[in-house]
């Protein structure tokens, strides 16, 4: 993936997430936290120990992957035609 694409996707995810926090009545700090999580996960930040107890962003990546599974299934069940088959995806 080109670097420009990753930045664009990160920004879109962060803006969407912060909008959801705002609409739900969240605080500015929560909006900043959700934007950081979006960037960490989509950008592909390295998992590092933080405060010696948790690898960041691995734990949030797992939650995002779980929600992504539902979106992927919904796309295909909604008749989205995937142009790149699984074998080609794995080979790439």
Cα separation of 63 and 60, whole Å?
A: 5
The pTM of this model reads 0.72
Torsion angles phi and psi, residue 44, rounded to 5 = 90, 40
- End-to-end Cα spacing for the chain: 11
Mean pLDDT of 51-79: 85
**Residue 30 sits in which domain range?**
3-91
Q: What is the pLDDT of residues 3-48, one digit of tens each?
A: 678 888 889 999 999 999 999 999 999 999 999 988 888 877 777 7
Share of the chain above pLDDT 90, in %: 53
Overall domain count for the chain: 1
Give dist(CA 80, CA 71) in Å, integer: 11
Question: Is residue 82 over pLDDT 90?
Answer: yes
The residues facing 48 across adjacent strands are 56
Residue with tokens 């694409």: 5
């Amino acid at each position: 993936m080109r670097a420009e694409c990753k930045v664009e996707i990160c920004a879109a995810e962060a803006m969407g997430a912060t909008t959801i926090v705002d609409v739900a009545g969240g605080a500015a700090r929560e909006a900043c936290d959700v934007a950081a999580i979006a960037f960490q996960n989509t950008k592909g930040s390295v998992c590092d120990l933080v405060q010696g107890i948790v690898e960041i962003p691995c734990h949030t990546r797992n939650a995002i992957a779980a929600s992504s599974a539902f979106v992927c299934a919904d796309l295909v069940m909604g008749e989205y035609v995937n142009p790149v088959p699984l074998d080609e995806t794995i080979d790439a």
